[in-house]
Structure 1
Amino acid sequence: MSSYLGNLASFDYKINEWEVFHSKLTQFIKLNKISDDSQSAVLLTHLSDDSYRLIRNLVHPKKLEACSYTELVEVLNQHFTPKRSTFADRAKFYEASRSDGESIEEWAARLRGLAVYCDFGAELDTLLRDRFVLGFRAGPERDKLFECDSKTLTFGQALEVAQKTACARQARVVVKEEPVFRVGEQRKAGHGQAQAKPSRSEDRSRVMQRCSVCGLRSHSADKCRFRNLKCRSCGGGHLVKMCKNKSNVHNIGAQSEGCAQDPLAGRDCRECDLFNMRFPN
């Protein structure tokens, strides 16, 4: 069982990144207080077979056992660290923008990574802030950032402003998506009770359709007060004026008579008055 503190996985150059492994190796050596004489052995014993053969070829004709830790690291740095162009790295930085679905935190972290090899020096924070703000697409976050004073705004403050604006926007979206129920009060004869307010489509349907019992548009046939009457012409459940078996001329003349025989309508039958046609004597 290993007596070392922590865990250091083997380095395979076909899979792993040398720069990341080197950083972890440095921390591992520091944590376990490994002596200078043993550091090269720790490095070589944490290489995969392919990586071991690679470094052996890189130091040839010198033997691996004769190389110090510093020499081995230098050889690997030269081999795995690509030659970089500052202008190329800066071009990637300046052209960067926030991707769809990328969180604000991810956008800020990616931007920091792009600036690693740009050699911005003392201007790093200002350039990070500018690219961070300008990388947003049109929206609440960008509008809010544009209101800030560029003379005093730092990269950290810009990140905080964008995060707060995004949280506020998401909160408003949640509120809008909450269902709203409206209840209208409708009093009926004999009692009053709250009923659900009819939708516009239902109101429109009532206006468009005429009751087949009395002919009005204010209700449906199943709710008509005259639905239990018997037509004098055909015996059906409707007023005489709505009977399809009667001629139009006969129906007009029979309006008042049909309603007069309705025991439910009474003298003040508003529905019938609307449809009756009265002729001068």
Structure 2
Amino acid sequence: MSTLIGNINVFDHKNHEWSIFHSRLSQFLKLNKITDDNKSAVLLTHLSDESYRLARDLVHPKDLEKLSYDELTKALGDHFTPKRSTFADRAMFYEAVKQDNESIEDWAARIRGLAVYYEFGSALDTLLRDRFVLGLGAGAVRDRLFEQDSATLTLARALEVAQQAECARRARSSVAGAAAEPRVKEEPVYRVSERRGFQGRRGPAYSGAGDEPRCSVCGLKNHDASKCRFKNYKCVVCGEKGHLKKVCKVQRASVARVNNIDTVPDQDHDDDEHNCKECQLFNLSVEEVSGRRAQVTKR
């Protein structure tokens, strides 16, 4: 026995469409040059158990195995091919629209499939073209088709124009999306010191809007620089006379800055007053001298 060319699936009327199976079976028989005596056997052997039982019931009381191929296909075709309503079929065709997730090519194929059972006659090509164009959603693709001459526009040409317009739309969207994406360079974030920013611009004697000016010698608020008891003190940082270390400009300039952004924590001047060792030593010296003068006065 020679090897058969091609193959067909077993027909199950619950899952498969009879017209498609019948068409494939006809091509299979023709390709393998199967004779009329064997066509019925090929058909029956390609039916599922449920479909075979149904075919036997349809031809009862005749014997299923003794019927010709044409008799079998007629009995099955009459049963599986539903009666169609021309107006209902046309309504489905005229109301069809392209879905959002459906490509241009799939939409064109679907409307052709909808027109298979419709009796449109010679007007079929024109109706297919019109349904293809009018079924598209509002947008650049349909606007491009509306610009075409309906007297010369065919379905094939409409499909070609729609594909070109769709490709152009996608290209524009891709370019616009890429241009809209901001390119931000990542930089390290530092803490901004508002107090130090003002002092850097207006000098160490300024402590912010509305605050009392500080002494340029010691940094305190309760007196003027001319009356400061530290005005003759020599700074241990720059060596100049007339201010303490905590208000020294050289000391402040040594703090790392980038556009008024400090990399070290900010501290209040009142804290510096209590933590400054120079002030404490100077105060001890002044108190010591004052004590000696008091003893001399008593004597």
Same fold (TM over 0.5): yes
Aligned match of 1:120: 120
The structure 1 segments of at least 4 consecutive aligned residues displaced by more than 4 Å after TM superposition are 179-183, 243-246, 248-251, 261-264
1:177–1:69 CA distance, 2 compared to 1 (3 A): same
Aligned match of 1:212: 195
1:78–1:244 CA distance, 2 compared to 1 (3 A): closer
Q: Secondary structure at the match of 1:241?
A: coil
The amino acid across from 2:195 in the alignment is: S
| 1:176 shift after superposition | 1.6
- CA distance in structure 2 between the aligned counterparts of 1:248 and 1:109, rounded to whole angstroms: 85
Deviations 1:78-125 (A, max 9, x none): 000000011110000000101121111111111111111111111111
The amino acid across from 1:29 in the alignment is: L
Q: Structure 1 residue 84 and structure 2 residue 84: aligned?
A: yes
1:247–1:149 CA distance, 2 compared to 1 (3 A): same
- CA distance in structure 1 between the aligned counterparts of 2:213 and 2:93, rounded to whole angstroms: 85
Aligned match of 2:133: 133
Contact 1:214–1:242 (8 Å) recurs in 2: no
1:244–1:115 CA distance, 2 compared to 1 (3 A): closer
- CA distance in structure 1 between the aligned counterparts of 2:2 and 2:13, rounded to whole angstroms: 24
Contact 2:207–2:213 (8 Å) recurs in 1: no
Q: Structure 1 residue 56 and structure 2 residue 56: aligned?
A: yes
1:157–1:243 CA distance, 2 compared to 1 (3 A): closer
Which consecutive unaligned segments of at least 5 residues does structure 1 have?
184-195, 199-208, 217-223, 227-237, 255-260, 265-281
Alignment RMSD: 3.4
Q: Secondary structure at the match of 1:178?
A: helix
Deviations 1:144-163 (A, max 9, x none): 11111111100111111111
| 1:215 shift after superposition | 3.5
The amino acid across from 1:213 in the alignment is: R
Q: Secondary structure at the match of 1:167?
A: helix
Aligned match of 1:14: 14
| 1:225 shift after superposition | 7.3
Deviations 1:197-236 (A, max 9, x none): x9xxxxxxxxxx99533549xxxxxxx578xxxxxxxxxx
Q: Secondary structure at the match of 2:206?
A: helix
| 1:8 shift after superposition | 1.6
Deviations 1:45-78 (A, max 9, x none): 1111221121111112221232111111111110
Contact 1:214–1:241 (8 Å) recurs in 2: no
The amino acid across from 2:196 in the alignment is: V
For the pair shown, which has the larger CA radius of gyration, 1 or 2?
2
1:213–1:20 CA distance, 2 compared to 1 (3 A): same
- CA distance in structure 2 between the aligned counterparts of 1:44 and 1:89, rounded to whole angstroms: 32
Residues matched between the structures, number: 220
| Superposition TM-score, scaled by structure 2 size | 0.64
| Superposition TM-score, scaled by structure 1 size | 0.68
Q: Secondary structure at the match of 2:196?
A: coil
1:191-202 correspondence to structure 2 within 5 Å? none
1:45–1:241 CA distance, 2 compared to 1 (3 A): same
1:211–1:12 CA distance, 2 compared to 1 (3 A): same
1:91–1:241 CA distance, 2 compared to 1 (3 A): same
Task: Tell me the percent identity.
Answer: 57
The amino acid across from 2:143 in the alignment is: D
1:35–1:215 CA distance, 2 compared to 1 (3 A): same
